[in-house]
Amino acid sequence: MEGDAGRDLGCQKTMDGKVNEDSTQADIPPCCLKAGAFAPDPELEANCHATVVSGWFSEQRSSDDVAKQMYFNNPMWPGEVHSLAVEKILFKEKSDYQEVLVFEVLVVGGGDGGVLREISRHNSVELIDICEIDKMVIDVSRKFFPELAVGFEDSRVHLHVGDAVEFIRNIPEGKYDAIIVDSSDPVAGPAQELVERPFFEMLARALRPGGVLCNMAESMWLHTHLIQDMISVCQKIFKGSVHYAWTSVPTYPSGVIGYILCSTEGPPVDFRNPINPIEKLEGALDHHRELKFYNSQMHRAAFALPPFVRKEVKCLM
Amino acid sequence: MEGDAGRDLGCQKTMDGKVNEDSTQADIPPCCLKAGAFAPDPELEANCHATVVSGWFSEQRSSDDVAKQMYFNNPMWPGEVHSLAVEKILFKEKSDYQEVLVFEVLVVGGGDGGVLREISRHNSVELIDICEIDKMVIDVSRKFFPELAVGFEDSRVHLHVGDAVEFIRNIPEGKYDAIIVDSSDPVAGPAQELVERPFFEMLARALRPGGVLCNMAESMWLHTHLIQDMISVCQKIFKGSVHYAWTSVPTYPSGVIGYILCSTEGPPVDFRNPINPIEKLEGALDHHRELKFYNSQMHRAAFALPPFVRKEVKCLM
């Protein structure tokens, strides 16, 4: 479901309203484009590092005078910057939770509707709840990225604008078959709460026996200690199975993103071999949109782990 | 064999001789750290883009004043910069072919001995020729990266310093069982000759029937047109089989590198299922060095291709 992220690099949009021309000239305060379906504590949002300096969008500040300081200070990617050229800023506004920007070159996360769009391939799905704290992310996606936001048009989708932790707390036990968490990065950032035991306990409680969780889980190249922490917590809570998988995302630091896949105690789930191979989904024919990145081959390959990951993430089988 | 590239990011070396202190303060002329076993035409080297600006090493110029120009001008990665923090420059000198730099944070390619080191796991290998045009790459690797350069110490290794095209031209027909080409990027760059038909014809001629070629072949995210060109040429020349595979390399643009794997007409080669799984190599026990990235799982996963690659690289099976 992450597959379109990189391909959208070539996305060309026309300039449209609400443009802050000055923003190409100077530092813009910290922001986070990867606003997830489960969005963050606004007080911590200031720790999220993304900047536009003279036409380049970076996951860290890249202006010369802060480079040295950054090397020591940035908790997520010390010593590394990934920059994308930005020709025009199409949208820039401060929501209650974060600064939202739209570029002609952009990476977008769960709140944009892309995950919903992919779920809608599955005819077997009857209801899709999405909880997004920041309505501006949805509005911006609808305006600038209709190809992603089309996910919201599915009649099975029910949008809940609010805090995901609160939302999950109030869900009846065993309500869901599957939960997908697309949160931001946890180190000293807004999503810290979302990688701790109480949140995973709430997720497990909201799942039926044999229900599954897919949780974004960092880069194996950069953060095996965080992966270890998350898997260790999940293994205590999810008594069905816990797996780690990863895939290539060219616009993320180190070029990969990982996932933790868990199932609750109950009917066993074979994550490596889906019952319905993605190429044979009955809903896909009506979807009028070919898959660009994901197929059965790529699904299986996602579970291949280098020896160093198994060594550093000791709790992995 | 690429697996250590990213892991070497953390490599710490002490400062040592031949240091140009000024080089952290200003633009350094174009250089290329990925000097391969088959090295480039020096006249074209100026097109290779790598810069240090105020403590950051980038695959493209990232100083503000050239950002806009770069977006349009750089042929390999328009609109993208990947930067690594550089604390000290340990070595900087101009060889006959390129500017060679050693940082505390570094990516190194084939000329450093790393590929040799990995080949030496195979007891079945009797002779390893390496052709490197630029002796400075080897000297620098020996001095600063002894863990990679140890590959040169194997008594089966024969080093040839010279032009790979000339070297291959003079090789007796059918001499080699396998050839590994780790060249630089071809677009308007020094390695253009190495992606064209005459070079592949010479490589095929130097291989025995059923011999194999492994050739570095770009990123599937960025350059499917180049991959298409190379595979199309190879399919005309290599009548055994032609495959495309890829793997994650966090320090390369877009986070991946691809390979073309070809075999000449003769005994069939099953690239996906090696006769000797890497975990069972008899030479590995004597190697005193665990594999960090490569294993049988990762080998198989390398052949999984997203639908967009099969669509854009039309000649792929």
Most confident of the ranges A13-27, A135-149, B183-197:
A135-149
Q: How confident is the model at residue B258 (pLDDT cuts 50, 70, 90)?
A: very high
A202 vs B133 pLDDT, higher one: A202
Separation between Cα atoms, residue B179 and residue B215, nearest integer Å: 8
The 10s digit of each residue's pLDDT in B137-182 is 888 888 888 888 888 888 988 888 888 888 889 999 999 988 888 7
Q: Could you tell me if B238 and B262 are in contact, meaning their C-beta atoms sit under 8 angstroms apart?
A: yes
Q: Could you tell me if B257 and B249 are in contact, meaning their C-beta atoms sit under 8 angstroms apart?
A: yes
Report, as residue numbers or ranges, the catalytic residues of B.
Answer: 182
pLDDT at A206: 92
Residue B258 to chain A, least CA–CA distance (Å): 13
pLDDT at B10 over 70: no
pLDDT at B264: 97
Q: How confident is the model at residue B8 (pLDDT cuts 50, 70, 90)?
A: very low
Least confident range of A112-126, B63-77, B86-100: B63-77
With CB atoms and an 8 Å threshold, state whether A83 touches B81: yes
pLDDT at B141: 85
pLDDT at A164: 81
Q: How confident is the model at residue A129 (pLDDT cuts 50, 70, 90)?
A: confident
With CB atoms and an 8 Å threshold, state whether B300 touches A304: yes
Amino acid (one-letter) located at A94: K
Query: In the CATH hierarchy, which fold is given to the domain comprising A110-312?
Result: Rossmann fold (3.40.50)
> Would residue B255 be called left, alpha or beta, if left means φ above 0 and alpha means ψ between -120 and 50 degrees?
left
Beta bridge pairs of residue A244: A260
Amino acid (one-letter) located at B86: V
Helix H segments across B14-121?
64-73, 114-119
B3 contact A CB<8A: yes
Radius of gyration of chain B (CA): 19
Query: Which long-range contacts link B143-147 to residues 24+ away (Cβ below 8 Å)?
Result: B143/B16, B143/B91, B144/B13, B144/B16, B144/B90, B144/B91, B144/B102, B145/B8, B145/B11, B145/B106, B145/B108, B145/B112, B145/B113
Residues 199-218 of A with CB under 8 A from B: none
| Cα angle A148, A153, A158; round to 5 | 105
Q: How confident is the model at residue B57 (pLDDT cuts 50, 70, 90)?
A: low
Separation between Cα atoms, residue B133 and residue B111, nearest integer Å: 9
Among A62, A250, A294, beta carbon nearest to B254: A250
How many CB atoms lie under 10 A from the CB of residue B183?
Answer: 26
Q: Could you tell me if A199 and A131 are in contact, meaning their C-beta atoms sit under 8 angstroms apart?
A: no
pLDDT at A96: 59
A82 contact B CB<8A: yes
Q: How confident is the model at residue B99 (pLDDT cuts 50, 70, 90)?
A: low
Separation between Cα atoms, residue A69 and residue A79, nearest integer Å: 10
Q: How confident is the model at residue B309 (pLDDT cuts 50, 70, 90)?
A: very high
pLDDT at A173: 94
Nearest partner of B79 among A12, A71, A110, judged by Cα: A12
Residue of A nearest to B86 (CA): A79
Which residues does chain B have within 8 Å of residue A55's beta carbon, measured at their own beta carbons? 67-68, 71
pLDDT at B227: 92
Separation between Cα atoms, residue A183 and residue A181, nearest integer Å: 6
With CB atoms and an 8 Å threshold, state whether A307 touches B300: no
pLDDT at A305 over 90: yes
For a pLDDT cut of 90, what percent of chain B falls above it?
28
Which residues does chain A have within 8 Å of residue B105's beta carbon, measured at their own beta carbons? 79
> What is the location of CATH 3.40.50.150 in chain A?
110-312
pLDDT at B270: 94
B281 contact A CB<8A: no
pLDDT at B285: 61
Residue B168 to chain A, least CA–CA distance (Å): 34
* Residue A266 exposed, middle or buried by CB count within 10 Å (0-12, 13-18, 19+): middle
Residue of B nearest to A6 (CA): B221
Which residues does chain A have within 8 Å of residue B7's beta carbon, measured at their own beta carbons? 308
User: Rounded to 5 degrees, what are φ and ψ at A270?
Assistant: -100, 90
Q: How confident is the model at residue B310 (pLDDT cuts 50, 70, 90)?
A: very high
Separation between Cα atoms, residue A238 and residue A210, nearest integer Å: 10
B256 contact A CB<8A: yes
pLDDT at A214 over 50: yes
pLDDT at A54 over 80: no
Least confident range of B44-48, B90-94, B249-253: B44-48
pLDDT at B120: 84
The 10s digit of each residue's pLDDT in A218-233 is 899 998 988 999 999 9
Residue of B nearest to A299 (CA): B304
Q: How confident is the model at residue B231 (pLDDT cuts 50, 70, 90)?
A: very high
pLDDT at B296: 93
Mutation site for A-interface testing, chosen from B308, B311, B312 by largest number of A Cβ within 10 Å: B308
Q: Could you tell me if A172 and A136 are in contact, meaning their C-beta atoms sit under 8 angstroms apart?
A: no
Separation between Cα atoms, residue A121 and residue A299, nearest integer Å: 16
Q: State whether the Cα torsion A128-A130-A136-A140 is positive or negative.
A: negative
Residue A250 to chain B, least CA–CA distance (Å): 4
B26 contact A CB<8A: no
Which residues does chain A have within 8 Å of residue B297's beta carbon, measured at their own beta carbons? 303-305
> Would residue A79 be called left, alpha or beta, if left means φ above 0 and alpha means ψ between -120 and 50 degrees?
left
A300 contact B CB<8A: yes
pLDDT at B55 over 70: no
Separation between Cα atoms, residue A192 and residue A308, nearest integer Å: 25
Separation between Cα atoms, residue A64 and residue A54, nearest integer Å: 12
With CB atoms and an 8 Å threshold, state whether A306 touches B293: yes
pLDDT at B126: 86
Average pLDDT of chain A, as a whole number? 71
pLDDT at A81: 60
Residue of B nearest to A74 (CA): B85
Q: State whether the Cα torsion B164-B167-B170-B175 is positive or negative.
A: negative
With CB atoms and an 8 Å threshold, state whether B63 touches A64: yes
pLDDT at B94: 66
Could you tell me the two tokens for A222? 């950069």
Beta strands in chain A (DSSP E): 51-53, 56-58, 80-85, 89-94, 99-103, 128-132, 157-161, 176-181, 207-216, 241-248, 256-263
Residue B51 to chain A, least CA–CA distance (Å): 13
B168 vs B40 pLDDT, higher one: B168
A22 contact B CB<8A: no
Nearest partner of B57 among B95, B9, B111, B122, judged by Cα: B9
pLDDT at B49 over 60: no
Separation between Cα atoms, residue A42 and residue A39, nearest integer Å: 9
B117 vs B244 pLDDT, higher one: B244
pLDDT at B278: 80
pLDDT at B127 over 90: no
pLDDT at B15 over 60: no
Nearest partner of A227 among A206, A214, A241, A244, judged by Cα: A244
Which residues does chain B have within 8 Å of residue A300's beta carbon, measured at their own beta carbons? 301, 304
pLDDT at A115 over 70: yes
| Cα angle A130, A136, A138; round to 5 | 40
Half-sphere exposure at residue B146, Cβ-oriented, CA atoms within 13 angstroms: 3
Q: How confident is the model at residue B25 (pLDDT cuts 50, 70, 90)?
A: very low
**Strand bridging mode B80-85 / B89-94:** unpaired
Which residues does chain B have within 8 Å of residue A290's beta carbon, measured at their own beta carbons? 307
pLDDT at A247: 95
pLDDT at A266 over 50: yes
Could you tell me the two tokens for B174? 């059918």
Among B6, B54, B64, beta carbon nearest to A67: B54
pLDDT at A299: 95
Q: How confident is the model at residue B202 (pLDDT cuts 50, 70, 90)?
A: very high
The helix, strand and coil proportions of chain B, stated in percent and rounded to the nearest 5, come to: 35, 20, 45
User: Rounded to 5 degrees, what are φ and ψ at A113?
Assistant: 105, -5
User: Look-up: residue for tokens 């960025």?
Assistant: B222
Mutation site for A-interface testing, chosen from B287, B293, B303, B311 by largest number of A Cβ within 10 Å: B293
Average pLDDT over residues A251-276: 92
How many CB atoms lie under 10 A from the CB of residue A63?
Answer: 17
The 10s digit of each residue's pLDDT in A160-193 is 888 888 888 999 999 998 888 876 665 545 556 6
